[in-house]
Amino acid sequence: MTTAIDKVSIIVSHGSLEGIYPGLIMANGARMEGIEANLFFTFFGLDAIHRTRQQHVKVATVGNPGLHLPTMLGGLPGMSAFVTHEMQKRMEELDIPPIPEFLEMISDAGGKLYECKASVDMFKLTMADFIPQVDSVITVGEFYAMAGGGQIIFT
């Protein structure tokens, strides 16, 4: 017998398109199913909720085995921009919203967005650097307390 999931807490630690979208898709899907969803952004995942950086998130082309490109090709000038553009076209065709719109949808649906205090401090950022949908800056201990009783997913 399986037990229904009531709550997910998703850790987003990568600042690339392919590192951010899985967490957003899972959080949005959870909210659409009535499941409590918390997103915890840490390290370079903070780019997803950073006011200016979220518009410039790209696909990581160097050393990305999923692209099936030789590492040398991935490092060519313009390759990341090209692959990012192609990926964004495909996502648009599937009606997958851009990062800012996706985060707003998740927040509007009751999903919670949190910044990792250690990462915020390490990068010398403040709440003013982030989008208004962010609920608060929390410590890892506070994240664990909030995630209690649910599933933790690391993307």
Strand partners, 10: 39, 153
- 94-120 as b/e: b if 16+ CB within 10 A: eebeebeebbebbbeeebbbbbbbebb
Could you tell me which residues come within 8 angstroms of residue 31 by beta carbon, excluding any fewer than 6 positions away?
A: 37, 106, 109, 110, 111
Domain of 105 in residue numbering reads as 7-154
Average pLDDT over residues 98-113: 98
In a domain, 1, yes or no: no
At 110-143, the pLDDT tens digits run: 999 999 999 999 999 999 999 999 999 999 999 9
Q: Is the pTM of this model over 0.85?
A: yes
Q: What total of structural domains would you count in the chain? A: 1
Higher-pLDDT residue of 76 and 38 is 38
In a domain, 2, yes or no: no
In a domain, 23, yes or no: yes
CATH of the domain at 135: 3.40.1260.10
Tell me which amino acid residue 78 is.
G
Mean pLDDT of the chain: 95
In a domain, 19, yes or no: yes
Strand partners, 137: 115
